[in-house]
Structure 1
Amino acid sequence: MCGIVGAVSNRNITPILIEGLKRLEYRGYDSCGVAVHQGGALRRARSTSRVAELQAQAASDGIASGTGIAHTRWATHGAPAVRNAHPHFSPGAHAPADAAGRVAVVHNGIIENHDELRAELQARGYQFVSQTDTEVICHLVDSLYTGDLLEAVQQAVGRLKGAYAIAVFHRDEPERVVGAREGSPLVLGVGQDAATPERFLASDAMALAGITEQICYLDEGDVVDLQLGKHWITHLSESGRFEQVSREVKTVHAHSGAAELGPYRHYMQKEIFEQPKAIADTLDAVETIGPELLGPGAGARLKAVDRVLILACGTSYYSGSTAKYWLESIAKIPTSVEIASEYRYRDSVPDPRTLVVTISQSGETADTLAALKHARSLGMEHTLTVCNVATSAMVRECALQFVTRAGAEVGVASTKAFTTQLVGLFLLTLVLAKQNGHLSDADETRYLKELRHLPLAVQAVLALEPQIVAWSEAFARKENALFLGRGLHYPIALEGALKLKEISYIHAEAYPAGELKHGPLALVTAEMPVVTVAPNDALLEKLKSNMQEVRARGGQLFVFADADSRIESSEGVHVIRMPEHYGALSPILHVIPLQLLAYHTACARGTDVDKPRNLAKSVTVE
C-alpha cells in the first residue's frame, strides 16, 4: 500500500516521478504529492484527487527539478486530506508551521512509536500540521541533521519502531536523496544512459519501467544514499555501526502496468478476460509432474514433510482454503489454512516436518511475510511460496517457489492472480501426491490433460457474460446478498462474496450451504438474492435440499449450475448453465462467473471498479 518514487538526475525528473505514481496508483489513491529541490528551496504539490490532477497542478506551478520524491497514499493515520498527503516538510524547530521546508519525506508503512516521538519533538519546538505518523520522521531527521543527510537518516531509523520505506532529501544538499527500508519494499534503480547519470528509488520496479531495467532490491535494514551518477548502501552491523555493503544489481524487465484497455471498460474486466492466457502461460513449462516444478532441491525438502500449513490473506486465503480440499483428498496430506495476520499473534504448535506455503499476488504482503518469518522462528524451515512476482520479497524469503505468470494485475480486486494461484496449488497437490505414492500414471495423465484443456474451458465460461449482465441489473438494486457453496466450492462462494462487496459495496456473506439452517436462513426474504455455486458433484443432492430451504422462505435463487446438474429455472430460481463439469478443477471455472457478476453489478451501480473506496492493491502494512 502506498507508492514511493524518487530520483536524482541532471534532467527534469518531475514527469518521471509523476509517471511512476500513475503506475503505482493502484497501491493507494487517497492522496498524492510530489516535492522537488528547485531554486535552492523545497517545492511541492499535493492533491486528494488522482495523479492526473496532481500532474496538472505540478505543471501549472512550474515544478521542475533533477532531485525529488513523490508518493501516492493509502490512508492509515489521518483522513485523506491535503495536510495529511505526502511529501511532508519540516521547517525546523520553533519555526512557524507554514515556514519554508528544510527536510522532505515520503513514507510507506506504519511507525508504531509515533506518539512517543511526537511528544518528544513537540517538546523541542516542532509544530505538527498533520495527523500522520510520517510527519515524525520528517521532524526527527531535521532534529538530527548536522550537515550530512545520510548520517541523520541512519540515526533516525535507529529510533523508529514499526515498518517503513522512506525517501528523504534536504534543502541544503541538492542532488541527494536518502532512502531506507524495514518491513516495506524499496528498490534502487541505476540509470543506464552514461550521458544522463541518475539514480532512482521506488517501492516497486514497475514504477521505473521504461526508465531503467537495472534494479537493486534493498534488504531489510538497508539505508541507501543516492547522488548524481552514484550510490552507496549501508547496513547496520552487529557491532551497532552502519557499514557499507554491496547488493546485486539485476536486469529486471518490469511491466509498466499501463497496458491499453482495448475494448474493455476497466482493467478488472480486461484481467477477467485475460485468464485463459494467464493460465496457459502459468502451465507453459509443465510437461510432467515432478518436484522440479517447485525449484531446485524441492525433492529432498518435500520428502522431509508430512503436513502442510498455508498462510495467506484475503483472496489468497480463499485460494489456500480451496487447496486444502485438494491436498487432503488427492495428496492425502493433513493441511491447515491460517489467516496470516492472525497466525503470528497466537500460540500454535510448531512442527519442523511442516511445509509452510505462503500465497501472495505481489509477494510483498506485510501480514504474510511476517507470518512466514514467525513460522521460521518456530523452527519450520521448509517453505514454499505461490506468487506472481518473481523478484518479490516472498520469493526471496522462501526456500521453494512456484511463480505464476498472470502478468501485471492493475485492478485492485484480484481475478487472474487468483485463478493462477489455484493452478499453482493444484500442481503442488499433484507433486506431493506423486511423491507420496498417491498419484498413479493414469491419474497424472488425466490431470495433465485437464490442465491443458483448462484455458479453453475458461474461454467457454467467459462466453456467459451477456447472461450475467442481465442478472447484474437486479443485483444492482440490492444492498445484501448471500452466497452458498459446498465442499471445495465453499471457498469459491467466499471469494464471490468478497468480490461483490469489494467493488459494488453490496454487503455479501458466504456460507457452506448446510449451515444455512443454523442461523443465516433468518436473513432470507424476497429482497435477499442467494447466489448458489452448484457443480454436479457428490454434494449436489444435499445442495438442492438447501436451495429448497431458501425457496420455502421466499428467497430468490441465482444458480450457476453445471450442464448436467438437472436444476431447472422456475419461479424464484434463476439458472445459468456452465458449459461442462470439470471435476477437481471445477472451482477454477466456477469462480469466473462470480467475478463477472461482481464486475457488472459494480458497473450498474456506478462505482469505481478498478479503485474501490478505502482499498489498495499491495497491502504492505499490518
Structure 2
Amino acid sequence: MCGIVGYVGSEPAGPIVYGGLENLDYRGYDSAGVALVEEPLTIAKRTGEVSELEVPGAPGATCGIGHTRWSTHGPPTDPNAHPHTGQTDEVAVVHNGIIENYESIKEELQEAGHDFSSDTDTEVIPHLLERELENGHDLLSGLETVVDMIEGSYAIAAVRAGHDRIVATRHESPLVVGHGDDASFLASDVTAFLDRTRDVTYLEDGDIARLEAGSVTVYRDGDVIDRDVETVEWDADAAEKGGYEHYMRKEIHEQPTALRQTLSGRVDVERGGVDLDVAFPQGYLESLEEIQLVACGTSYYASQYAAQLLEEFADVRATVDIASEYTFDGGRDPWRTLVIAVTQSGETADTLGAIRRAGGAGARTLAVTNTLGSSVTRETDDALFIRAGPEIGVAATKTFASQVTTLALLAADIGRQRGTLAATDAREVLEHLRSLPGAIQQVLDEEARVVAGAEQFVDADAFFFIGRQFGYPVALEGALKLKEIAYDHAEGFAAGELKHGPLALITDETPVLSVLTEGARPAETLNNVTEAQAREAPAVGVTDGTVETDSLDLTLEVPEIGALTPLVANVYFQLFAYHVADLQERSIDKPRNLAKSVTVE
C-alpha cells in the first residue's frame, strides 16, 4: 500500500524523489513526505496528496528518500507521515510494513530518555539507528544490527545527514533497485523510476543494499553478494494514461493486448498442447488429489472461476479459500495437494501468509502473479506469470481476465498431463482461449450501449449481479467493481439464491444485471431474472443468443466461446461500473479507503 522512493546521483534529488512519488500516486495513501540529504537533513511531510506536498528546493542535495503512507499505526496526521527521524534528527527513515514488537522497543527507548513525536511503529527504527551510530556503527552496519531487533514485515530505507548514500533492506515487503549511469534508484514499485531506468535488481528478504551515485552493493549476512540485473520489458509509456481520462478505462481497453501476451508462445492448438514452463516432479500430477487456490478480492473471484475449470479439465478436486482464512488441515496429504497462490502484485500479505502455511505443512506451492521478482515468486516452488503488463488503476480489470486465462491454460495443461482432457477437447479449449482477445474487442466496440445503460441506471438505490456456474464469480466480480469505484450498494449472488432471501430487497430502483451465456446456465438464470422483474426490478442481461431476452430493459451481446463466454461478459460489467462512477464524478483510479497492493494483514 505505502510507497517508497529513493535517489542518489549527481542531479538535485528533490524533483526526482517528488517525481517518483507522483509515479506511485495510484497506490493509495493518506500522507506523503521527503527527506533530502544535507547537513542537517531537510524534511517535508504532510497529510494529503503528493500534489499538496511542498518539496524544499535544496539544490545542493543529490540524495533523498520519499514515502506515501497508508495508515496502519496511528491516524493520518502530519506527525505520523514519513519520513521519521530519531532523537538527534541525524537519521531519516521510510518504512513499509508493520513492526510487530515496536511497543516493547519504544518503551525501552523511552526509559532511556528518547522522545517520540508520532503514533507509528516506524519511529522506533531511526531511534535505534541513531543509537547504533553512537555505538560506533556506520549506517549500513547499524541497519544490520537493527533488523536483528525488530520483528514483522518491512521494507526500510534510511539516510544520514551529510552522507550521500541510502541503505535499505526488506523482509516480506517489496523493494527494487534501479541502476543508472551515474545514479541509483530505490522504490517499492518499479513504476516509481521507470521513466529514468529499466535496469533493475529485485532485493530478496534479508538483503541489505547500499546505494551510492552509480553503484549498488548488496550484502547478505555481512558478505557482498551478486544479484541479477534485469531489464523491465515494458517502458514508461505503458504506465501512462495514453489519452484516456482514467487508467482504469485504459486498462479495460488493453485487455485484448494483455490476453495476447498471456497466451503468446503457450498454446499449440494443433496438438492440443500447452507450454507453461512449469515443471512438476515425476509422477506428481498423476497422484494429485486436490488443488487449493488461495487469494483475496478480485483474485479470489478469478480463482473461483478457475476452480471449476480445473475440476472440469483435470478431473481433480479444486477448492478456493480466502487467503486470510486459510489453514492447511483436515488430514490432507501434502504430497497430493497443490496450493496455488493467486495475487496480481505478488505482495499481498494475506496470500503470502497462506502460502507459507501451505509450504510449512509440506504441500507443493505455485504462484500465479503479474509481477516478476515479487515476494510470492520466492515463497513458492514455482511461478506462473500472467503477463498482463502494468496495472495502475486500483480496481483490477485486465489482470482478472489474465488470471482466469492463465489458470485456464494451467487447467488444460494438467488435464493433458493427467490424461483427463482428450486432445480433441483440448484443441477446442485452446481455440476458445485464442478467440478471447477478439471476443473482448467486440465488447469494447459496443461501449456506447453501456454508456446509455449507465445513464439510465446511475441513480439506482442498489444493484444486484447474478449468475450461475462460471457466471457466478463474474457476478461477484461485477458487483465488487461497482462497489470499489462508484461506492454504490452492489451485491453479487448465485442466481438461484435470489428466492432464498435477497428478493425481499428488490424494488423498481434495484437493477438486476445477469450473465445469460453458455457456461452460466442461461435458461435457469433467466427464470431468476423474471422473478425479479415480477417485483418491478429493471433487468440487464449479457447474452450470447442462447436464450430469448426481449423482455429485458437492456441486452448486451457477446460471442459464444464455451466456458470462457462469461469471462467476456465480465467486460460489460467493468465498463458499466466505470461509466456509472464517471457519471458520479468519483475518483476512479484512486477510490477512497483502498490501495492497489495490500501488503499488510
TM-score, length-normalised on structure 1?
Answer: 0.90
Cross-structure match for 1:95? none
Letter in 1 for 2:597: S
Matches within 5 A, 1:320-339: 320-339=303-322
Q: Secondary structure at the match of 2:37?
A: strand
C-alpha distance in 1 between matches for 2:377 and 2:557: 36
Which 5+ residue runs of structure 1 have no aligned equivalent? 93-100, 237-241
User: Which of 182, 189, 192 pairs up with 1:204?
Assistant: 189
Q: Secondary structure at the match of 2:430?
A: helix
Cross-structure match for 1:42? 41
User: Which of 542, 562, 576 pairs up with 2:555?
Assistant: 576
C-alpha distance in 1 between matches for 2:491 and 2:13: 47
Letter in 2 for 1:76: T
TM-superposed CA distance for 1:20, in Å, is 1.9
> Cα deviation per residue 1:381-424 (whole Å; 9 max; x = unaligned)?
2x222221233232343333332221111111010111011111
TM-superposed CA distance for 1:298, in Å, is 6.9
Summarize the Cα distance change of 1:348–1:113 in structure 2 as closer, same or farther, 3 Å threshold. Answer: farther
**Are residue 153 (structure 1) and residue 143 (structure 2) matched?**
yes
C-alpha distance in 2 between matches for 1:80 and 1:483: 35
Cross-structure match for 1:508? 490
Cross-structure match for 1:107? 95
C-alpha distance in 2 between matches for 1:361 and 1:216: 20
C-alpha distance in 1 between matches for 2:111 and 2:204: 34
C-alpha distance in 2 between matches for 1:305 and 1:8: 51
User: Which of 255, 265, 280 pairs up with 2:245?
Assistant: 265
User: Which of 255, 260, 265 pairs up with 1:275?
Assistant: 255
C-alpha distance in 2 between matches for 1:232 and 1:407: 29
User: Which of 428, 432, 437 pairs up with 1:455?
Assistant: 437
Aligned identity (percent) is: 44
C-alpha distance in 2 between matches for 1:162 and 1:439: 45
Letter in 1 for 2:83: P
**Are residue 545 (structure 1) and residue 527 (structure 2) matched?**
yes
C-alpha distance in 2 between matches for 1:152 and 1:432: 49
Contact 1:503–1:609 (Cα < 8 Å) also in 2: yes
Contact 1:184–1:620 (Cα < 8 Å) also in 2: yes
Contact 1:483–1:532 (Cα < 8 Å) also in 2: yes
Contact 1:257–1:410 (Cα < 8 Å) also in 2: no
C-alpha distance in 1 between matches for 2:3 and 2:156: 10
Summarize the Cα distance change of 1:272–1:70 in structure 2 as closer, same or farther, 3 Å threshold. Answer: same
Letter in 2 for 1:52: S
Q: Secondary structure at the match of 1:560?
A: strand
C-alpha distance in 2 between matches for 1:262 and 1:403: 24
> Cα deviation per residue 1:143-172 (whole Å; 9 max; x = unaligned)?
33224112222222122111100001122x
TM-superposed CA distance for 1:110, in Å, is 1.1
TM-superposed CA distance for 1:219, in Å, is 1.7
Contact 2:241–2:247 (Cα < 8 Å) also in 1: yes
Cross-structure match for 1:58? 55
C-alpha distance in 1 between matches for 2:418 and 2:393: 39
TM-superposed CA distance for 1:541, in Å, is 2.6
Matches within 5 A, 1:297-312: 301-312=284-295
Cross-structure match for 1:408? 390
Contact 1:257–1:408 (Cα < 8 Å) also in 2: no
C-alpha distance in 1 between matches for 2:15 and 2:238: 16
- Farther off after superposition, 608-617 or 364-373: 364-373
Letter in 1 for 2:295: A
Q: Secondary structure at the match of 1:181?
A: strand
Summarize the Cα distance change of 1:478–1:85 in structure 2 as closer, same or farther, 3 Å threshold. Answer: farther
Cross-structure match for 1:185? 174
TM-superposed CA distance for 1:205, in Å, is 2.6
Summarize the Cα distance change of 1:332–1:150 in structure 2 as closer, same or farther, 3 Å threshold. Answer: same
C-alpha distance in 1 between matches for 2:58 and 2:212: 24
Contact 1:28–1:615 (Cα < 8 Å) also in 2: yes
Cross-structure match for 1:21? 21
C-alpha distance in 1 between matches for 2:199 and 2:34: 24
User: Which of 427, 436, 446 pairs up with 2:428?
Assistant: 446
Q: Cα RMSD (Å) of the superposition?
A: 2.3
C-alpha distance in 2 between matches for 1:369 and 1:234: 24
C-alpha distance in 1 between matches for 2:257 and 2:289: 34
Summarize the Cα distance change of 1:76–1:254 in structure 2 as closer, same or farther, 3 Å threshold. Answer: farther
TM-superposed CA distance for 1:350, in Å, is 4.9
Contact 2:478–2:574 (Cα < 8 Å) also in 1: yes
> Cα deviation per residue 1:487-515 (whole Å; 9 max; x = unaligned)?
11101100001100000111212111111
Cross-structure match for 1:5? 5
> Cα deviation per residue 1:337-359 (whole Å; 9 max; x = unaligned)?
11112114977745321122111
TM-score, length-normalised on structure 2?
Answer: 0.93
Cross-structure match for 1:68? 64
User: Which of 149, 155, 159 pairs up with 1:165?
Assistant: 155
Letter in 1 for 2:90: R
User: Which of 406, 415, 426 pairs up with 1:433?
Assistant: 415
**Are residue 603 (structure 1) and residue 582 (structure 2) matched?**
yes
Contact 1:3–1:21 (Cα < 8 Å) also in 2: yes
Q: Secondary structure at the match of 1:454?
A: helix
Contact 2:515–2:566 (Cα < 8 Å) also in 1: no
Summarize the Cα distance change of 1:398–1:302 in structure 2 as closer, same or farther, 3 Å threshold. Answer: farther
C-alpha distance in 2 between matches for 1:258 and 1:474: 34
